[in-house]
Structure 1
């Protein structure tokens, strides 16, 4: 039985992670964590009486195999570091960490031979989109990314968009050519090694992204759309089983599918 802690358990994604664990025959929810709550009664949150509720790292004293994190960008680095130091395999879906932070966490986990994953997106359609974009990047010299999320998403650009841009850059091995532009309103978007990223935050979206490649006389658009967060749980479950058999931390679900 895989023993699981869910961090950010009372958020929209955290609730779905709790439900997924409770419905899995080979998993057991042993604890939940959120630093900002004060009520530690599991019944308050509709949890079983044997599930521990924590709001302080110092109180977490329980055997667990997996730390699922769907908290907030400002907390995820310390949460993940704590889990690794406790020997709990991290499965991190919270975005917002810098490359320096993810690099530090990878070095820490790898030094302990501890499996784990930090994924900007657990949706299989989004991961496959990133993989397809990486292939296309070898044949198209220029691309731009448009990502669309709900109005309450805290970070921009999304972790998925940044990871897509990173994969495009790695496939090419050099920065994308820049075009001079008179842009007083800064409409050209963010920039990752020359790949422009445009972030939309509007009601009606859950998580959409498209990568548009341009070449002489042709364009290629690779897009995906998420209409229900429940879809992410397929990737989370896949990741849990993979990291249980792994001895290192990977960045991106595309590394294991």
Structure 2
């Protein structure tokens, strides 16, 4: 395969659980090459990214906390395809990470959730001006895309729905980006849900969950032993219709991540959601 066909990839959040899975997936993809592995955890500095990810052979790519020099290095690589950065970091830093990547002409694939509506719009405007592709994807699982499509179909026939999302207790943001996106997709139907029949009183604040558009409630659970799970529960007289997606291994996200890395090179603007590129 010619060098121009090889996609140079930077993984930001390389020492995290998702980052390690992404490194393994890239190492096994003949059309991609890991060029940089970024992580701010001092315990992992200078370690080989392949060894840290559990590969049998080192990749000779050391973990570093120097994001901008790595963006500049990959941007200057003219013998390969344009560069891509995969970001699985933290809500506090993802906005700045994505802006920096776009400024260097590196295409972001963002799995970190927690970006505000205003931040997403600003990044979309910036990507448009730079004519640089950017993918922001709350969930890379094909199964979750199918669940959301089924939920949109069901929402046409039910007037009451609530969402429960369950994640490991190291997840920093709540509700999850996937749950928020699911609620937004249901709200786009333009009809109100969960019309109250009584005047509710929360004896403990938050007992009824968070309130999204069109009266949709989202409940967040954080426990060790969980990875990522979501239920969309519809109710009507005499029946309950439940849609549920469970993650048992983070490897389930990797086909979506690899697809996004390839697809982002074809884009000139920001696209939100895996379903937009399938």
For 1:235, the equivalent position in structure 2 comes to 256
Alignment of 1:128-139 (within 5 A): 128-139=146-157
1:55-101 CA-partner distances (Å, limit 9, x unpaired):
23442321251110011111111111111111111111111111111
Kept after mapping to 1: 8 A contact 2:159/2:192: no
1:185-229 CA-partner distances (Å, limit 9, x unpaired):
131111101110111111221111010112333332111110001
For 1:114, the equivalent position in structure 2 comes to 132
Among candidates 200, 222, 227, match of residue 221 of structure 2 = 200
Displacement of 1:35: 3.5
Kept after mapping to 1: 8 A contact 2:137/2:273: yes
Displacement of 1:146: 0.6
CA distance in 2, matches of 1:42, 1:151: 26
CA distance in 2, matches of 1:39, 1:218: 52
Among candidates 52, 55, 64, match of residue 54 of structure 1 = 64
Runs of 4 or more off by more than 6 Å in structure 1? none
CA distance in 2, matches of 1:44, 1:121: 24
1:115-171 CA-partner distances (Å, limit 9, x unpaired):
22111111111121112212222222221001111122111111111110011111x
Task: Give the secondary structure class of the aligned counterpart of 1:204.
Answer: coil
For 1:77, the equivalent position in structure 2 comes to 95
Corresponding position: 1:16 with 2:21? yes
For 1:66, the equivalent position in structure 2 comes to 84
For 2:38, the equivalent position in structure 1 comes to 33
Kept after mapping to 2: 8 A contact 1:30/1:52: no
Kept after mapping to 1: 8 A contact 2:138/2:178: yes
Kept after mapping to 1: 8 A contact 2:161/2:235: yes
CA distance in 2, matches of 1:244, 1:43: 27
Q: Normalization by structure 1: what TM-score?
A: 0.92
CA distance in 1, matches of 2:238, 2:137: 35
Which structure 2 residue ranges, 5 or more long, are not aligned? 1-5, 52-57, 76-82
For 1:173, the equivalent position in structure 2 comes to 190
For 2:78, the equivalent position in structure 1 comes to none
Q: Normalization by structure 2: what TM-score?
A: 0.85
For 1:101, the equivalent position in structure 2 comes to 119
**Structure of larger gyration radius:** 2
Corresponding position: 1:246 with 2:267? yes
Kept after mapping to 2: 8 A contact 1:131/1:254: no
Measured at CA, do residues 85 and 37 of structure 1 come closer, stay the same or move farther in structure 2, by a change above 3 Å? farther
Kept after mapping to 2: 8 A contact 1:38/1:55: no
CA RMSD of aligned residues (A): 1.9
How many residue pairs end up in the alignment? 255
Kept after mapping to 1: 8 A contact 2:127/2:269: yes
Kept after mapping to 2: 8 A contact 1:208/1:226: yes
